[in-house]
Amino acid sequence: MNKYIAEFIGTFFLVLTIGCTGIGAGAGVIAPLAIGAALMVMVFAGGHISGAHYNPAVTLGVLIRGKVNATDVVPYWVAQLAGAAVAAVIVSKVVMTGAFAVGDISGGAFNPAVALGICILGISSWANIWIYLLADLAAAVLAAIIFQLINPPMQTTPIATDEPPYETPE
């Protein structure tokens, strides 16, 4: 359960930061730095608990690599999407969106949970969410396949053991 809570919290703060820095923000370096910093903090805070995916597409890629149990994928996705939705609702209620002109932005979201969040926030149209979901998840599959093709299989035997060193028979 802790890993799902960590995914919820990490995705929540990622979308919260995107929502708080993106609404009414002009071009500049502050929003990307804030988003990157929030993501970095959440990776350090939750990476040892859940792997710090914070992105359904990343979870899919990790599943294809065989580094997450198939039974954990749907709960991860539920936690990530719920975190994004709760953050989006909070931002839309706390931030006075009417005071800012969101402007015509592309809404380029490379994370299905962020795509959900920006749709809830009204930054992107609900009619566009399918392209984010399709493109992000397809890219995760492609990236995982390419990774598997260009990287050798992971070592399955432990490197360090309590066994005495191997001695060559005479």
> What pLDDT score does 27 carry?
57
- Assigned CATH for 2-150: 1.20.1080.10
Distance of alpha carbon 88 from the chain centroid? 15
pLDDT single digits (tens) 10-34: 999 999 988 888 766 565 677 888 8
Q: Is the pLDDT of residue 148 over 50?
A: yes
Q: Residue 112: name the closest of 84, 70, 76 by CA.
A: 84
Q: Residue 60: name the closest of 103, 112, 9 by CA.
A: 112
167: Cα within 13 Å, side-chain hemisphere = 3
Interior angle at CA 77, CA 144 and CA 30, nearest 5: 80
Beta-carbon neighbour count of residue 155 at 10 Å? Answer: 7
Asked if residues 52 and 14 have their Cβ atoms less than 8 Å apart, the reply is no
Q: How confident is the model at residue 57 (pLDDT cuts 50, 70, 90)?
A: very high
Residue tagged 């994928």 (tokens): 73
> What pLDDT score does 166 carry?
56
pLDDT single digits (tens) 72-122: 999 999 999 999 999 988 887 765 444 343 334 445 567 788 888 888 888
Residue type at 14? L
> Model's pTM, two decimal places?
0.61
Rounded Cα–Cα distance for residues 130 and 79 (Å): 20
